[in-house]
Structure 1
Amino acid sequence: MNGFIEFLCSGWWQIIVTAVVGYLLGSINFAIIITRIVDRNKDIRSMGSGNAGFTNVLRSVGKGPAVFTIVFDFLKAVIAVVIGGFLFSSIASQGTVQSVEFACFGKYLAGLCCIVGHMFPVYFGFKGGKGVVTTAALMAVAEWRVFLVIIALFLIIFAISKIISLGSVICAVCYPIATFCFTFFVDYLPNVNTAAAHSMLYVIVSTLFTLLIGLCVIIKHRSNIQRLLNGTEKKITAKK
């Protein structure tokens, strides 16, 4: 805990740079950019559901633009998370558990800010997407075990329901739960009395970050949740 407090005091510039870079990268909304390029300057936010994200591009513009959207939205988050992890890991001695934990904190901070940027992009009037793809990218880089569990859950739900928003909301709920289970029961508890043990702070911070991210995704899906409850949410079909 003392080391973490010292980091907050001495690593202030890493925190600021990580947050700003993450947000600015997240604000590059490829759903908006790609739609403007391929569909004569049309705004994806005035089409279909009005959401600047992969699903609306798929429904309103087509498969090709949707593929480019998901790939570039994923990559921007990967870049942000890698930068955050690198900056934070430089604070502690390399090769130590503390360095690994700090890197993890940096990844989560960068990922959170990237997701917020995607949802509220400074370049596009603060009206963006819902952060599902950017959240998936954060999972993949920060905690691959959680990513595998969550992506498997999403694919199962989508295969059954054909509703992307249903899988997204359920996975957002399960994200902090899965993170806690892995960090506490796999990383912390079995090694609690060894030099390789992660700290309880690592468990708490990781879980809190993912809880906050999950809440952001759920809040952005408010209208989808209402349609799911009403039975009016659209399914993805093979038309396009």
Structure 2
Amino acid sequence: MGSATRTAIVTGGSRGIGRAVAARLAAAGQNVAVVYASNAKEADATVGEIEAAGARGIALQADVADEQQVADAFDTVERLLGPVDVLVNAAGVMALQPVRELDLTQLDRLVRTNVRGTFVTAKEAARRIRPGGAIIAFSTSVTRLHLPAYGAYAATKGAVEALVPILAKEMGERDVTVNAVAPGPTATELFFEGKSQQVIDRIAGLSALNRLGTPEDIAQVVAFLAGPGRWINGQVVFANGGAA
């Protein structure tokens, strides 16, 4: 098992896009800490993929919206893997309801994870990340596709998009880039949940390439922003196969 020269933290790294990102960063030579909410078995499986790629990996349970838990996670990563160079905040939750039917307890849940969680992790990264590093948040292409029932989810991601260019300017003097990736419909458990095949096919047809994205498609974009893509800064990168 080799020793990478850079260390990344990937929240939401136990499944879906986060898991693909962790594996891709490991393949690019970065040690990766997987932060997960509840699924230890899947997080350990992600660590197995990281190690199979020749990097070092650890799994840590933390609530991304809890400031102390996030600080403790950073402490552990620094102790076991070294100073942090990259934060990828892929942790997120989704609830689909028309605005007129919106369950406000679900809205509170979305805001806590998607907005507060982004701020808490970004705040800790802004204090600790090494020069030459990168902070990568997650938005969604639904902020432009305007699909019915996605109002609450898209609104929380709109907050992420507002934060990114401001934090990029704040981090410029530290030589740390800040961007967001906005996936289109992507073949993950989160996407498939509660959808009929007819609905899935219709949404896949939104892409100019006439298919759903894969977690690996998104991971490639994240790896570029986390590595060589240093002149891209303060941007929201829409990775959606030309969906419109």
How does the TM-score come out when normalised to structure 2? Answer: 0.29
- Higher-helix-fraction structure: 1
Structure with a larger share of its residues in strand: 2
TM-score of the superposed pair, with normalisation by structure 1: 0.29
Highest Rg: 1 or 2?
1
